[in-house]
Amino acid sequence: MAAESLFATLFPSDCRLCGTALTEVSRLPVCSACVGSIHRIEAKTCAVCGELAPSVPVGQDEVRCGLCQRARLPFAKAAAYGSYDGALRGLIHLLKYDRVRPAGGILGRMLAEAMAELKLAAGEKAPLVIPVPLSSGRKRQRGFNQAEEIARAALRHWKVGGAVTGEIPALPAVELNTTTLRRTRETQSQTGLTRHQRRVNLRGAFVAVRPEQIARREIILVDDVYTTGTTVSECARVLRRAGAAEVYVATAARVLKGDVASAAEERRAEVRAQA
């Protein structure tokens, strides 16, 4: 208690998420209670896009949401660690808008667990991990690409032949690739746009500049948040056209159906970041 009191006196700081006084030395200004409140999605989700799924009939292991029953998505499966709300949303905002880069370490661990849910088998060539790219202007403004930051942290937790946690089975080798997929132009922020407006906004915004690097390879496309799936779908379409064998999607968080509060908070965060 004396050491904690001394730390609070010498390094006064509050948790950036809940306001509680911090008593532990850490580069991340978030208390352990907030970090501990983040949990994996436990509800049954669509076997393809990861959206909340209706109840599964007895004897049926997998179920698809209405959208995935009506249309084939350009990726095989999407997995996310947690719901985009509460402390998880706060961590992503600290990294993305406030440039608190130590938040990437925790988000990377969560992304690694989401990647493990894809259950990729070890093939002849290691799957490529490709972060969704930012435009050059946005990257200069932010100083880094949050998807790449989280991806690099995830690979530090990815233990080939071992496990991310005690509950995850052996994992195949993977390789990070940050040069093949590029964003070719600035686009309007996706926040607040309808699904159709998002598709129009991103049309032609990505290109695969070194298709030989991804030909016949499995791809794990990673991002911080899966909102409507428009961005990852456009990226997956470009990668498949460039010769990728299959594309999977992994994110730290996902906006789940009916989560209006998360979408509204994301819009407010975008406005604050641009002010």
Instruction: Report residue 73's pLDDT band, with 50, 70 and 90 as the boundaries.
Output: very high
Per-residue pLDDT band at 13 (split at 50, 70, 90): confident
Average pLDDT over residues 261-271: 53
Per-residue pLDDT at 274 exceeds 80: no
Assess contact for 223 and 248: CB atoms under 8 A: no
Give residue limits of the domains in the chain.
Answer: 1-37, 40-274
Which residues are 247's β-sheet partners?
A: 219
The class (CATH top level) of 40-274 is: alpha beta
Q: Which residue has the higher pLDDT, 239 or 265?
A: 239
pLDDT of residue 196: 66
Q: Mean pLDDT of all residues in the chain? A: 84
Question: Could you report the per-residue pLDDT of 199-217, keeping only the tens digit for each?
Answer: 666 777 899 998 999 999 9
Decide if pLDDT at 275 tops 50. Answer: no
Predicted structure pTM score: 0.84
Region 90-101: what's the mean pLDDT? 95
pLDDT of residue 120: 81
Phi, psi of 217 (to 5 degrees): -105, 150
- Which sign, positive or negative, has the C-alpha torsion 202, 255, 158, 23? positive
What pLDDT, on a 0 to 100 scale, did the predictor assign at position 33?
95
pLDDT bin (cut points 50, 70, 90) of residue 187 is low
Q: Which of 28-42, 110-124, 163-177 has the highest mean pLDDT?
A: 28-42
